[in-house]
A and B are shown apart, each in its own frame.
Chain A
Amino acid sequence: MSLSIDVRRRIGATQLDVQFTVAAGETVAIVGPNGAGKTSLLRVVAGLISADEGRISWDGIVWDDASSGEFSPPEQRPLAYVFQDYALIEHLTVGDNVAFGLRAGGVRRRRARERAYEVLDVVGGSDLVERMPSSLSGGEAQTVAIARALATEPTVMLFDEPFAALDASARAHARRLFSSMRSSSVARLIVTHDAVEALTLADRIVVVEAGSVVQIGTPSEVLATPRSHFVAEILGLNPLSGQLRGDELSLGAMSLTVGAHGVDDGDVIAIVWPRSVSLHRERPEGSPRNVWRTTIDAVDRSDGRVRVQLGTPLPIAVEVTPAGFDALATEPDGEVWASVKASEIVVQPA
């Protein structure tokens, strides 16, 4: 069983054009910059808008087929959609919100209430059952929205930035809940702009930019070879645009030597991992290539690591240990030597 998505849809200035499948039991994260069409993609899958071209089907059952005109409205698709603003029904109690989908589907009031309580209990919200949505905190509203989505036992679940509006502790709880909800019969799509979320919660990542899929892969694949500036940037990977000639990478102000690669000469995106750059007080011995003198623009110490923003000629972020940084004994605006091994620079066609 899988959700098969192959759609084209014009939304304002963005032409959405995506094709991928989500298997039952799988969680796929859709990442991309604002305005890339991530939410529109969810809306097309949900049936809140229709596709201009292409087809969406679940387990062989067509939900939307532009060529044949087949279209199931949202209420006929066995899915649930958790909205970014939770979209709880203000005049109904939490219990009635969770029971809403069951009642709409014809389940008797009493049975629906029982089921709502069961689901709330599972997600740890059973004490909220009599509350009104306006009295809930963000985390509580999120819990209720997830319970409401689970109540109708959907086979496809759509999440739009589910954790974006939560504070840190509520977010941690919501992420655990999200992970624990995994079911072998449910396909999940989660839209996020948070790289950590995508990497930790998803089995596969679909990177969408300007309406199109630029990369699909497992988190480790996307981490190893991020094929987009956006992904590299959110992962803190220092994407650099430059021209490649042989093993020589020109980056305007300076050039680097890169290791073995199978990339043709021309415009490329190079990735420099923050931890692969080392900083030195004196010019390092024995490594004649990829060494340059640089200023330090900013220093950020957190979580036992030091993130250093280098200035000209190559403004990239590097990460070093606190001990290593202290050993530099440099002034805040002082100059240091930086070096990176050729084999640790990844290049790919731009």
Chain B
Amino acid sequence: MSRQQRHDARVPIALAVLGWLAVAFFVVPIVALVIRVPWSSLSDVITDDATTEALTLSVLTSVITTVLAIVLGVPLAWLLARSNIPGRQFIRALCTLSMVLPPVVAGVALLASLGRRGVVGAILDDWFGVRLPFPMPAVVIAQLFVAMPFLVLTVESGFARSAGTVEEAARTLGASPWYVFTRVTLPATQPAIIAGAVLTWARALGEFGATITFAGNFPGTTRTLPIATYLALESDIDDALLISMVMVVISVVILVALRGRWVGAIGGVR
């Protein structure tokens, strides 16, 4: 028995050292941030018009992005998980490419398509007089483009897991496909949708590269918190530290609020 224990204990030591190194890697920057933040000027920065503007814009756009991601992403996830459309793998790859693309490239691609002289943007401008960049909707589009795949993948695996005889049983009981979807499938997939929405929201809140490329940097309309942080870094590092701290707090609050409940569903991301 003791021999067995010694044997078991030996291997994890190497793992434990590396594991704790990783923990330090994550914790040290946050702790450093907390130490360096000039808490005395906290109220000044938070009540500063430029900061509140950026904060409001970030919260507003990220929430709109999350709602749109659910509206569009859940049906997309359903198509990927349940339908027999040809080239499903290829479509999935296309729709989740922006997740691994450098955000700046995503922004350039959006400019090329929806920009004033972009492929689609020119048509919108000529025919409808609609010009997207750089007002606030452009921020939402940039966020949606890079953040929605998180919801799509999470919900897709949720749909794949909830498939089974229950839906067939519901059909034989007289339920139409739509009734089955809304009363059986969606409730069963709810944890995955919430998990996906949280991932999407967090990604949207932190979005920087695609936003500044596609939507620009206009105070009040497109200057989100991450952009404001970056700009503050060039003028006043204390402001940058404080705004960063605000975002850390928001993220921690969300993480704690979710606790273990939906983390399992997040773990289902493939």
Contacts and interface: CB of A to CB of B under 8 A. Distances in A.
A88 interface: yes
B188 interface: yes
Interface SS of B by simple majority:
helix
B173 A48 contact: no
Contacts, number: 65
A152 interface: yes
Interface string B138-172: 00000000000000000000000000111011111
Interface residues of A, number: 25
A74 B168 contact: yes
A101 B187 contact: no
A204 B188 CA distance: 40
Contacts of B183: 89, 100, 104
B184 interface: yes
B159 to A, nearest CB: 15
A141 to B, nearest CB: 12
Given A85-B165, A90-B188, A104 B170 contact: yes
B104 interface: no
B176 A104 contact: yes
A87 interface: yes
A267 B179 CA distance: 56
Interface string A79-102: 111010101111100000000110
B174 A87 contact: no
A46 interface: yes
B124 interface: no
B79 interface: no
Contacts of B168: 46, 48, 74, 81, 83, 87
A80 B173 contact: yes
Contacts of A48: 168, 171-172
Contact of A75 (B165, B174, B187): B174
B67 interface: no
B232 interface: no
A148 interface: yes
B172 A89 contact: no
Contact of A101 (B164, B173, B177, B184): B173
A192 B188 CA distance: 30
A73 interface: yes
A294 to B, nearest CB: 48
Interface in B157-213: 164-166, 168-177, 179, 183-184, 187-188
Contacts of A315: none
Nearest to A90: B188
Contacts of A83: 165, 168-169
B183 to A, nearest CB: 8
A105 B166 contact: no
A91 B179 contact: no
Given A89-B184, A90-B188, A46 B172 contact: yes
A79 B172 contact: yes
Given A48-B172, A73-B177, A104-B174, 6 more contacts: A80-B172, A88-B169, A90-B166, A101-B175, A149-B173, A152-B174
Closest 4 CB pairs of A and B: A101-B173, A87-B169, A104-B175, A81-B172
Interface of B: 164-166, 168-177, 179, 183-184, 187-188
25 contacts: A48-B171, A48-B172, A73-B177, A74-B168, A74-B171, A75-B171, A75-B175, A81-B169, A83-B169, A85-B165, A87-B165, A87-B169, A88-B166, A89-B183, A100-B170, A100-B175, A101-B173, A104-B170, A104-B173, A104-B179, A104-B183, A105-B174, A152-B173, A152-B174, A158-B172
